[in-house]
Amino acid sequence: MQEKRKICRFEWIMYIAAIVTLAVGIFLIISAITYISSYYSSYGMSMSSGWKDAVQYVLSNSGSWFVYALIFFTAGRIIARLEAVKAFGTKDTPAAGKSKAGKGKPDKAASSKDSSSEEAEAEEKADKAVETPEQKQD
């Protein structure tokens, strides 16, 4: 059974900002279409005669708001992922690189043993791989 994840305030703020900017974008689309239809009707033209200009006008007025909504939503998702990574290892399992004491400092004894044994193995392999001129003559 999965536990519910607590959503931080900043993540909520990003999602709310995304919803608000999305609503503003939709409002601007509606108002731009209303303006264009009244503009064409006042001059006795149909919208089909200038549909390219109408689309350009609608997109220039509202397109940036949809991009802002996408940015806010993406920021909220990134914050959610970072919170999940931050929460990893805080319950039963220690996070990687932390000592068993859980004080957040790496275990120096274990890491120095691992690195010294790896270095010794690498030196042995390098010594075996490189033949000296005396060894080649034999």
pLDDT tens per residue across span 14-37: 999 999 999 999 999 999 999 998
pTM: 0.57
Amino acid at 61: N
CA 39 from centre of chain: 43
Check residues 37 and 134 and name the one with the higher pLDDT.
37
Residues 6+ apart with CB under 8 A from 18: 69, 70, 72, 73, 76
- 62 vs 56: CA distance, rounded Å: 10
